[in-house]
């Protein structure tokens, strides 16, 4: 799952809940839920670092790229070039 901070819509929590709701223990064990906080500064996302994320998802993180690539991603975000940024 990929998420970014939104100005008006905050449906990330509901999306995670909807994905996991109703799963049996066996189904939940078979699902590996990984979340990429795709803001170049993940701390701007309201769910970053929240305990509920750690409890519900199997893996949560942000970009793990060299500084030069992170700067390129920041530039793409400022340009609103989400097509190219989305590849990362």
pLDDT reported for residue 43: 93
Surface-to-core class of residue 18, CB atoms within 10 Å of its CB (0-12 exposed, 13-18 middle, 19+ buried): exposed
Give the chain's domain count.
1
Dump pLDDT digits (tens) for 28-42. 999 999 999 988 889
Check if the beta carbon of residue 6 is closer than 8 Å to that of residue 40: no
- Alpha-helical (H) ranges within 1-81 are 12-20, 25-30, 51-56, 67-78
Q: What is the pLDDT of residue 81?
A: 73
Helix, coil or strand: residue 5: coil
Domain that holds residue 23: 2-85
For 73-88, the pLDDT digits (tens) are 888 888 877 777 777 6
Q: Tell me the mean pLDDT in the region 52-67.
A: 91
């Amino acid at each position: 799952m990929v998420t970014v901070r939104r100005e008006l819509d905050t449906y990330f929590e509901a999306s995670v809940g909807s994905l996991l709701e109703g799963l049996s223990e066996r189904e939940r064990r078979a699902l590996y839920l990984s979340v990429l906080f795709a803001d170049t500064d993940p701390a701007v996302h309201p769910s970053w670092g929240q305990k509920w994320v750690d409890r519900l998802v199997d893996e949560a993180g942000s970009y793990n790229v060299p500084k030069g690539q992170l700067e390129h991603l920041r530039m793409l975000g400022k340009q609103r070039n989400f097509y190219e940024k989305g590849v990362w």
